[in-house]
Amino acid sequence: MKVGIIGGGAIGLLYAFHLSKAFPVTLYVNRKEQLQLLEKYGVSMSDELGDREIFFQQWQTESQPNEDIIVVAVKQYALHSILPALETCTKKQTILFLQNGMAHLELLGKINNSSILLGVVEHGVKKNSDYSINWTGKGRTKIAGYHPPLDKNIIDFITNWEKFIGDGFPLEVCPDYQPMMTEKLLVNAVINPLTAIYHVKNGALLTNPYYKNTMKILYEEISFLIEQEKRSGMWEHICTICETTANNWSSMERDITEGRQTEIEAILGYIRKMANQKGKTVPVTEFIYQAVKGLQVPAN
């Protein structure tokens, strides 16, 4: 079973490194400069170095991945550029999406032939260079089928992952993608935009009482996405994530600092749309959404 990973960012490099322990992996990257560095140095990780059999290929507009499992590790806003290639994948292929937010669910109807998995990444990872990463927080990968039941191709993928990678890079299979992704959406919606606006690490949201109050106000406004009885537990979960990743910079904060586009549209933009559909007003969400949009580099 072969795995193709589209995207040479921090997440793409992390998954290429680990999945190559269990599968032949091809990593597709967008820039020729990165391709040349990867071909020279491979993928290196600061806390664990070793030889890995990873193949590298530059992503072209006409590229058509032919691996059994296609892991899509690009940012949410880059999906449109690769969607034409994903639409032509065959029934024998499975596509695993690893994006933050939930806006990409609207695109899945365009992929008719392939099986689809949705994933949630709980790892912290920092990209040091085009070929080097720092694994800053070890968590889990959660996956769920978009259209259950899971077919044989997916079951084989899960079995090999668990057998050859195991506890070192854990996998959790969830029965339903909706609660899995909603939980991650709420975590991202509270932590990422606020750390980007305040320009602080995750832990500062707890240690500064004013930042924590803002967190709580924002969370209470967007908690309509889950059932009433789960809201208290979800708030505790968000605070726990802040605590366990206290020394991490969020991906959105890094995007702002390094002059990149953010995933605010896929996160708070999606929540704004859900609120509108339910007839709810979300003024705090709206303010924070506009603030991040004002800070980020304009899209080309």
Q: Which residues are marked as active site?
A: 184
Q: Which residues contact 119 (CB under 8 A, 6 or more apart)?
A: 96, 97, 98, 141, 142, 143
Report residue 167 as tokens.
């506890």
Give which of 112, 80, 72 is closest to 96, Cα–Cα: 72
How far, in Å, CA of 189 to CA of 179, rounded? 15
Beta bridge partners of 96: 71, 117
For residue 299, give the amino acid letter. A
Residue that is written with structure tokens 């949410």 in the block: 76
> Rounded to the nearest 5°, which phi and psi values hold at 169?
-150, 75
Count of positions (residues) in the chain:
300
